[in-house]
Amino acid sequence: MNSPLNKEAIRPARHLDDVASAASPHKGTLSWVGMEGIALPLLVAGQAIAARASAGVSLDAPDTRGIHMSRLYLALAELEHQELSLASIRSLLDTFLDSHQGLSEQAFLELNGEALLRRPALISPLSGWKTYPFALRCRRTPSGTQLILNVSIGYSSTCPCSAALSRQLIQQAFEEDFNDIPVSRAAVHAWLGSEQAILATPHSQRSQAHLSLRLTPDIDELPLLDVINSVEKSLGTALQTAVKRVDEQAFALANGQNLMFCEDAARRLHATLSHQPAVEGFALRIVHAESLHAHDAVARSEWNWEPV
């Protein structure tokens, strides 16, 4: 059995050695030093979420052994209990540098989480929750601040080729079924409502737009919700939450009105994102998880973008 804790034995000495501030046995600067995977509660679009943070600084003093991890860790509390904003992130990066004067010229913060948004149904008054994975990568250097927002947005895509081929089969079936009977409005109406008439349907797939956006460095609000809304509007076929039949019918119509190859989706989003006021440049990757194939159809596009 362990002996009881002897608090006297662990009472802190008046002076605690600070190894981090001592001279390093090995000299040299380091581009990034800090902590990864820190649990951090955040408020995004009004919802509390569990995020993970990476916090770091450069170590530009070649003789100093280490940075002060606790100062970075404690500073992260600045982001708690308030809506996540770019203004608060810039202030936090300043705190990182202020707490490492003489040691660090650059500060870094990465936040990973899932935005949790309530989304309305297409027609009915219902709504439900959807998550959008995001990452915010921030860097403060003597020449300014860089902010990269990554976000993934799911949607539905219906193959335009498959739709055309299905229509062709329906036309052929019409030719055959009405070959020797008179074409009346009532007969065609009844025929259109039968499974035997609409004998082929195009394939659809759950698809993903993976976006990396370089944000205008001096804006204060995080444009996550604006970007998600613009992208879903541009594609027209956002994944749904609560669905009644009236919503499902509207979704079928939206898919039929927005037939999309991965190239079509990439071009639409290229146009949409290049008009987002908060976005200075982007790289996008469109992934259609094909139901026709066991592999994915993918398109990429960039604007004003250099990989970082």
Ligand X SMILES: Nc1nc2c(ncn2[C@@H]2O[C@H](COP(=O)(O)OP(=O)(O)OP(=O)(O)O)[C@@H](O)[C@H]2O)c(=O)[nH]1
Binding site for ligand X (CB under 6 A): 18, 20, 66-71
Question: Cα–Cα distance between 219 and 221 in angstroms, integer?
Answer: 6
| Pick 74 or 187: Cβ nearer ligand X | 74
| Pick 1 or 10: Cβ nearer ligand X | 10
Contact 254, 232 (CB under 8 A): no
| Pick 19 or 186: Cβ nearer ligand X | 19
| Pick 19 or 181: Cβ nearer ligand X | 19
* Cβ at position 67, least distance to ligand X in Å: 5
Beta pairing class for 47-59 and 30-44 = antiparallel
Which are the contacts of 211, defined by CB distance < 8 A and separation ≥ 6? Answer: 149, 150, 151, 152, 153, 227, 231, 269, 273, 282, 283, 284
| Pick 69 or 197: Cβ nearer ligand X | 69
Tally of residues, the chain: 308
* Cβ at position 69, least distance to ligand X in Å: 4
* Cβ at position 145, least distance to ligand X in Å: 24
Q: Tell me the C-alpha to C-alpha distance, in Å, between residue 144 and each of 8, 156, 247, 301.
A: 49, 39, 47, 26
* Cβ at position 249, least distance to ligand X in Å: 59
Residue nearest to ligand X (CB): 66
| Pick 55 or 79: Cβ nearer ligand X | 55
Question: Cα–Cα distance between 48 and 188 in angstroms, integer?
Answer: 54
Inter-axis angle of helices 262-273 and 224-235, to 10 degrees?
140
What burial letters (b/e) apply to 202-224, b meaning 16+ CB within 10 Å?
bebbebbbbbbbbbeeeeeebbb
* Cβ at position 19, least distance to ligand X in Å: 7
| Pick 66 or 236: Cβ nearer ligand X | 66
* Cβ at position 111, least distance to ligand X in Å: 21
Question: Cα–Cα distance between 153 and 200 in angstroms, integer?
Answer: 29
Give the amino acid at 245: R
* Cβ at position 109, least distance to ligand X in Å: 17
Output 92-97 pairs: Cβ under 8 A, ≥24 positions apart.
93/138, 93/139, 93/140, 93/145, 94/140, 96/55, 96/57, 96/71, 96/72, 96/140, 97/57, 97/140
| Pick 78 or 263: Cβ nearer ligand X | 78
Structure tokens belonging to residue 19: 């190894």
* Cβ at position 18, least distance to ligand X in Å: 5
Question: Cα–Cα distance between 300 and 308 in angstroms, integer?
Answer: 17
